[in-house]
Amino acid sequence: MVVNLFLQDREQASDPWAIDGEFKRYLRGKTGSDEAFEGMWELLKRKTARTLAAAVPEVRSAVQHEFRDTYRDNGFEFLGFDFLVDQSFEPHLIEVNHLPSMATKVPGRRTDGSVFDRQKELFVHGLMTVVAETARRRPVHRALARRAGCPAGSKADLVLDMIYEARLATENGFSVLTTDMYDELHVHYPIDAVRSLQQRLRWLLPEMRSFAGPKASDGDLVMFDEVVRRTLRAVEARPDERFETVVLQTLCNAGSVFKDDKDKKAEL
């Protein structure tokens, strides 16, 4: 959603704009094409992904030191990113809200035709669909990883969950930032700079020990972030193949995980 403070009085505005609606049409009218909007949107996504990537080390540190005994990876969170778009159509991040309001414009009553209400309703519906369907699919991914003989700690089932979740999100109107975030991690936390960190983590966190293997070596110290990044890129580079097959071949050196059409139907 967009509140256009240049054209509107925030207190008097009847409704904000939808980003891909009124705001996109406004930029098209100013420039004669959608190029400005598309460039702005790509920058906005990249800056959001970079912000999330920057938070990863601190989040992991908190999990390790403060929530180690209680963290179960069974929740989700949504955040509100506020950007200001300047005259050259570049977005600037102002703040990130950890408790963005999901209230409708008129509490307790839906305003007919309200962009404000409609955008929030679509968001909540899409979010709940992604959460529920991803959870329903997890047992299938565990079974596929077992059948493919994936080594302990490969996290293949979690990567399958991640990609399936991203595809569901796209179907429900979201823009997926997963690959962008891992690309930013690769740029700002390069593999050579964090090998010593992983060497410490491998003895502190059981999941890191199983992933890295029993012996310390350069080959064992490949960061999981980089493995995920390369796996996501492999899936994108092979769009005509089942993503499950690409993931399991990349992480587990497995062949085809579907023996025949009957197996495909049984797994899906």
Instruction: Note whether 88 and 166 are same-domain residues.
Output: no
Instruction: Note whether 209 and 177 are same-domain residues.
Output: yes
Q: Tell me if 197 is assigned to some domain.
A: yes
Instruction: Note whether 164 and 196 are same-domain residues.
Output: yes
CB atoms within 10 A of CB 71: 12
Instruction: Give one DSSP letter per residue of the chain, joined into a string.
Output: -B--TTTS-TTT-S--B-IIIIIHHHHHHHHSSSHHHHHHHHHHHHHHHHHHHHHHHHHHHHHHHTSTTT--S------EEEEEE-TTS-EEEEEEESS-----SBTTBPPTT-HHHHHHHHHHHHHHHHHHHHHHHHHHHHHHHHHTTPPTT--HHHHHHHHHHHHHHHHTTPPP-HHHHHHHHHHHS-HHHHHHHHHHHHHH-HHHHHHH-SS--TTTT--HHHHHHHHHHHHHH-TTS-HHHHHHHHHH----S--SHHHHHHH-
Give the tokens for residue 86. 């300047």
Instruction: Note whether 83 and 127 are same-domain residues.
Output: no
Q: Tell me if 137 is assigned to some domain.
A: yes
Q: Tell me if 165 is assigned to some domain.
A: yes
Q: Tell me if 162 is assigned to some domain.
A: yes
Instruction: Note whether 72 and 147 are same-domain residues.
Output: no
Q: Give me the tens of pLDDT residue by residue for the chain, a chain 268 residues long.
A: 666 555 555 555 556 778 888 889 989 999 999 999 999 999 999 999 999 988 887 877 777 777 767 766 667 888 999 999 998 999 999 999 998 888 766 555 655 657 777 888 889 999 999 999 999 999 999 999 999 888 877 789 989 999 999 999 999 999 999 989 888 888 876 665 555 565 556 556 555 554 444 443 333 334 577 788 889 999 999 999 999 999 999 888 766 665 554 545 445 4
Instruction: Note whether 165 and 254 are same-domain residues.
Output: yes
Q: What is the CA radius of gyration of the chain?
A: 22
The answer to whether 89 touches 96, Cβ cutoff 8 Å, is: no
Instruction: Note whether 80 and 147 are same-domain residues.
Output: no
Q: Tell me if 215 is assigned to some domain.
A: yes
Quick one: pLDDT at residue 11?
57
Quick one: pLDDT at residue 35?
96
pTM: 0.76
Q: Tell me if 114 is assigned to some domain.
A: no
The domain of 187 spans 121-268
Q: Which of 188, 182, 174, 173 is nearest to 235 (CA)?
A: 182
Instruction: Note whether 92 and 131 are same-domain residues.
Output: no
Instruction: Note whether 37 and 147 are same-domain residues.
Output: no
Instruction: Note whether 66 and 130 are same-domain residues.
Output: no
Where among 71, 100, 129 does a domain terminate? 100
Quick one: pLDDT at residue 50?
93
Instruction: Note whether 185 and 77 are same-domain residues.
Output: no
Q: Tell me if 201 is assigned to some domain.
A: yes
Quick one: pLDDT at residue 213?
41
Count of structural domains, the chain: 2
Q: Tell me if 134 is assigned to some domain.
A: yes
Quick one: pLDDT at residue 130?
95
Residues 6 or more apart in contact with residue 246 via CB below 8 angstroms: 231, 234, 235, 238
Q: What is the dihedral of CA 38, 40, 41, 42, to 10 degrees?
A: 90
Quick one: pLDDT at residue 211?
46
The vertex-156 CA angle with 154 and 239, nearest 5°, equals 135
Indicate the angle between helix axes 224-237 and 156-171, nearest 10 degrees: 50
Quick one: pLDDT at residue 16?
72
d(CA 163, CA 158): 9
Instruction: Note whether 201 and 84 are same-domain residues.
Output: no
Quick one: pLDDT at residue 217?
38
